Chains A and B, each alone.
Chain A
Amino acid sequence: MRRTKASGDAKHWPGLAFGAVVFFAYVYLPILILVALSFNENRTVTMWTGFSLKWYAEALANQAMLNAAWNSLVIASVAAVCSTFLATLCAVRMARDTFAGKTAVNALVALPLAVPEIVPAVATLMFFATLGVTFGLGTVIVAHTVFCLPFAYLPIRARLEGMDARLPEAAADLYANPRRAFFHVTLPLLMPGILSGLVLAFIISLDDFITTFFVGGAGSTTLPLYIFGLVRIGVTPQVNAISSLMLVLSLALVSLSLFLSRSRDGN
C-alpha cells in the first residue's frame, strides 16, 4: 500500500464518506427502528411511550403465528438437508475429474441464482398443477430444495477447490480404498463447507416468500406469508416483534455460516 493521495484514487473522491453514511442509514435505520418499536408499549406503531415486552408475549402466544413458524422450520430444515446432500454429491463429482461440458454444468448449477425467482416459481406451479399434485408442505419442500441447491453448492465447491488435491491421493497411497478415503479424509475436510452450505440453504428457505406463495397450499403457511397477511390487515406492534425474532435468528445463522466457512483446517 504505497498509495499516496493520488487524485484518481476512489478513496479520496469528495462526498464519498457522506454517500457511505447515507447508504448505511438507508439500509439499516428502518431495521433498527423496527426493532426499537417492537419494544414499544404503545399500540400505535409510530409513537414511543415506554419499554415493554408485551408484543413479544402476545406474538409467542399467537397459535397461528406459532403454526407458521413451525411450518417454516420444518420446510427449511428438510429443504436444507436435502439440498445440501445433493449439492455435496454434485460438488464432489464435479471436483473429481474433468469431463466434456464440465464448465457448462458448473454454470448451470449456479444459474438459478441469476434467474428472477418469479420465473421458476410460476414454472414450478404449472409443473405441479400439470402433475395434479396437491399443494401443501410437500410441494413447498420440493420447490425449496431445488432453489436452495446453488446456495448449498457454492460454499462446498469453494471448500473443495481450496483443498489440497493430493490429500485423497495420500489416503489412497496409505491403503484407503476410494470409499474410506472419502469418509476419512475428503468428507471431514469438507465438513465446514457442508455446514456452511446447510446454514445458508436454511436461511434462504426460511426467508422465501415468492416460491412459497405460488406452490403453497392449505396448512403450509410459512412465517413470511403469515407476516404478509398480518400487514395486509394492519400493522400491529406484534409484527415488529415477530420480524425482530426472525432477524435475530437469521443473523445468528449467517454468523454461524461465516464462522464455519472460515475455520480452515476443519476443527
Chain B
Amino acid sequence: MRERSPERNPQENSQCTRTHDAAIDIRRVRKSFGTGANAFVALKEVSAAIRRGEFFTLLGPSGCGKTTLLRLIAGFDQPTSGDILLDGEDISQLAPFHRPVNTVFQNYALFPHMSVAQNIGFGLKMQGKSKAEIDDRVDAMLTLVQMQALKSRRTGEISGGQQQRVALARALAPAPKLLLLDEPLSALDLKLRKEMQIELKRLQNETGITFVFVTHDQEEALTMSDRIAVMDHGSILQIGTPREIYDHPKRRFVADFIGDINFIEATAVTDGGQAGARIPGHGFVRLEDDRTLADGETMTLAIRPERVEIVPSKALDHIDGPRNEATNELTGKLVNVVYHGTDTIYHFTLADGTVMRARTQNNRGFAPRFSVGDAIGWRVDPSAISIVEDAAA
C-alpha cells in the first residue's frame, strides 16, 4: 500500500538533502469534525510520502476526504491526530500564513477588489518584499502564465481560463515549497481543461515545485500525475504511478473507479507450482499476480476490457478444457456489440451469467466478425489479470 515510509532520525530536521527525500510526509493523520454522536470522520489514519518535485494526485469521489487532506496540508484545518512533515519539519500546528505552501482554490478565490498584478503580488507584499522585487517577480509570473497584456484588469473582467492562470501565478509567485491544487480545472470547459492540463505540467517542469493535485477526474489524474493516491471513505486505498494504478489495481474500488473493468469471481488453484484461478463453469486461467494464494481461496479477478481478446470458438469442446492452460482461452456467449467510433465493445456472458466486456480498436474500420447470440472464445494474457481485494477499506 504505502510506497515508502522513510525512517527519520529525530535530529535530522530541516536541513536534509537526501535525493529521494519526501517533501511532504503525512503520518497517520486523522481528522474528524464534530464531537460525540455527531462526529464525522473525514480521514481515517492516512499516511503518504510525497517526493520532492513530484506531481502527486489525490484521486477519489466527492466526500472521500481528498479536499480535507489538502486543507490540512495548507493549514486551514488542524489534524485530530497525526503529523504532517514538510522537509522533515512538523508543520501540522503552524498557521497557514506561516507555511511555505500555497493553494490554487477550486473557484480560484481571486481578490475581486484588486487587479491581476495586485493579486499576483499579494503574497510577496505580505511577506514584506520590496516594491521593486514585487514588480520584478509579478512581471516574471505574468510572463510565465502569458498574462502580461491583462495585468491591470480587474479579476471580474477576465475569462475563466485567464482567472485560472492568475490563480496559478498568484500561488507560484512566492515560490512555495509545495503547491496545492484543489480541483482547479473543474470549472473549465473540456477544451480549455485539456489546454490547462498541458499548461500545468509545463509550469511544474519549469518551476520544479512539488504539486499536490486534487481531482475526481480519473483521466486527468492518469495523464498528469507522477503518482496517484486513490482515496475513498477517508482512506488512501492505493498509491502508485498511473500505470501501476491502472494495470495493477489492488482493491476492487480502485479498479472500478479508474477506467472500465470486468470483475470475475474465481477460486485460487496453486497445485503444480503455477498460480492460477478456476472460474466456475469454465476452466483454469494462469495468473501472474505475485500475491500468495491459498488453494481453494475465493477471490475477485479484475480484467480491463481492452486486454480481452475475442476469438472464434472453433473447438468449443476443448476450449474450457486442458487447452486453455496454455492459451488462457475461455468461452462465452455474445449478447451485445456496441460501436463507439474508435473502438467496438463486445458484451458477452459467462456460464454463471456474469456480463463481461471486451474492447477492440476499429483499426481497419468496423467489421464485426461475430454476431449477437454467437458462442465465442475469449483470451486474456496472465499479466492483464489483477487480483483485487473486495473490502471497502
User: Which A residues are closer than 8 A to B by beta carbons?
Assistant: 164, 166-167, 169-177, 180-181, 184-185, 188-189, 264-267
Contact = CB atoms under 8 A, between A and B. Distances in A.
Interface stretch (B109-117, B140-148, B201-209, B284-292): B109-117
Contact of B122 (A174, A177, A265): A174
Contacts of B109: 164, 166-167, 169-170
B97 A172 contact: yes
A267 B154 contact: yes
A187 B110 CA distance: 15
A175 B170 CA distance: 12
Interface stretch (B99-107, B241-249, B301-309, B320-328): B99-107
Contacts of A185: 111
Interface residues of B, number: 25
Given A164-B107, A175-B123, A169 B112 contact: no
Given A167-B111, A265-B156, A174 B95 contact: no
8 closest A-B pairs by beta carbon, nearest first, are: A174-B123, A175-B126, A166-B109, A170-B109, A265-B112, A172-B96, A266-B113, A176-B126
A66 B109 CA distance: 50
A170 B156 CA distance: 17
A170 B76 CA distance: 10
14 contacts: A169-B76, A171-B126, A172-B76, A172-B95, A173-B76, A173-B101, A173-B102, A177-B95, A180-B126, A181-B97, A184-B126, A188-B113, A265-B113, A266-B113
B74 interface: yes
Nearest to A169: B76
Chain B at the A interface: SS class: mixed
B127 interface: yes
Contacts of A264: 112
B210 to A, nearest CB: 16
A162 B103 CA distance: 22
B83 to A, nearest CB: 21
Chain A at the B interface: SS class: helix
Contacts of A172: 75-76, 95-97
B234 interface: no
B174 interface: yes
Contact of A175 (B74, B97, B105, B111): B97
Interface string B153-180: 0101000000000000011001000000
Contacts of B174: 174-175
Nearest to A176: B126
Contacts of A180: 126
A264 B111 CA distance: 12
Nearest to A191: B113
A176 B97 contact: yes
A12 B126 CA distance: 60
Contacts of A174: 97, 102, 122-123, 126, 170-171, 174
Contacts of B97: 172-177, 181
B133 to A, nearest CB: 14
Contact of A173 (B74, B110, B113): B74
Given A169-B109, A173-B101, A185-B111, 11 more contacts: A166-B109, A170-B105, A170-B110, A173-B102, A174-B97, A174-B171, A177-B97, A184-B126, A189-B112, A189-B113, A267-B113
Nearest to A192: B113
Contacts of A188: 113
A170 B113 contact: no
Nearest to A164: B109
Contacts of A265: 112-113, 154, 156
Contacts of B127: 175
A153 B74 CA distance: 33
A175 B125 CA distance: 9
A181 B123 CA distance: 11
Nearest to B100: A175
Count chain A CB atoms within 10 A of each CB in B105, B110, B126 and give the residue with the most. Answer: B126
